[in-house]
Amino acid sequence: MQLSKGQNAPLDQADITVHCSWRQSPTIDADLSALLLTSDGKVRGDFDFVFYNQAESRDDSTHHVGKRSGGTSVEDCITVDLHRLDPEIERIAIVLSLDAAAPATLADIGQADIAVYDAVGSALAAFTIDDWSSETAAVTVEIYRRDHRWKVRAVGQGYHDGLAGLARDFGVTVDDNIDAQTSQPAAAPVVNGPPPINWSNPPVPAGYEL
């Protein structure tokens, strides 16, 4: 199901992977990260921030897989095992942010295509963000628990002060170099992975509801 901003879809599978892809550029790069949040919308500590330099959460539920390139696009991935999440965690914010080494905005990488897959590579939901302006970081989607069920919501909320500003809002202790620290090496070529979504006619997950 292709989601619009604010819409949600159920996640009936515990093992999921969030893929985010964007246009490859020789001068601009971006990274995906995850923030594990409690009921107050904050992390419990910096250990709830999963990114390139801290590739797994303390409870081993959430992993940053890393980037890979394929032709004209770059893809970054976060995996989540919902069964392994600490009971305190009620939301996971999936964040896209620019490498601070180059002065740019998310508009410079074009649209971001986000897709959520289950463990066998079947698409559960998809969301496209193509209305960037001067943002340098954004919450793309969030995984959240409601009435003992997990869902994914299309968010697309941008920030103008980079990953540092976004992370600070969620309770992460931020030093002046956080944006540089979260920049990872160039993406490796795609070898294997879930099939690409037909964005004009994406699959509808069973049990979809708003």
Instruction: Kindly state whether residue 201 falls inside one of the protein's structural domains.
Output: no
Residue 199 located in a structural domain = no
- 23 is a domain residue: yes
In a domain, 37, yes or no: yes
Confidence of residue 209 (pLDDT cuts 50, 70, 90): very low
What are the pLDDT digits (tens) for 148-191?
A: 899 999 999 999 988 988 999 999 987 654 444 444 544 444 43
Structure tokens at 25: 């550029």
CATH code of residue 129: 2.60.60.30
The parent domain of residue 182 ranges over 2-189
Question: Do 49 and 167 form a contact (C-beta atoms < 8 A)?
Answer: yes
Confidence band, pLDDT 50/70/90 cuts, at residue 146 = very high
Domain count, the chain: 1
Which pLDDT tens digit goes with each residue over 8-59? 999 999 999 999 999 988 888 899 999 999 999 999 999 999 998 999 999 9
Is 174 within a domain? yes
pTM (predicted TM-score) = 0.82
Residue 54's alpha-carbon distances to 62, 64, 104, in angstroms, are 11, 8, 25
pLDDT at 100: 64
pLDDT tens for residues 82-134?
999 999 999 999 999 997 666 799 999 999 999 999 999 999 999 999 999 99
CA 183 to chain centre: 15
Residue reference for tokens 């107050």: 40
Q: What's the pLDDT score for residue 102?
A: 63
**Is the confidence at residue 195, as pLDDT, over 50?**
no
Q: Give the separation between CA 109 and CA 96, rounded to whole angstroms.
A: 11
pLDDT tens-digit series, residues 56-84: 999 999 999 989 987 789 999 999 999 99
CB 142 within 8 A of CB 168: no
Q: Looking at the domain assignment, is residue 77 inside a domain? A: yes
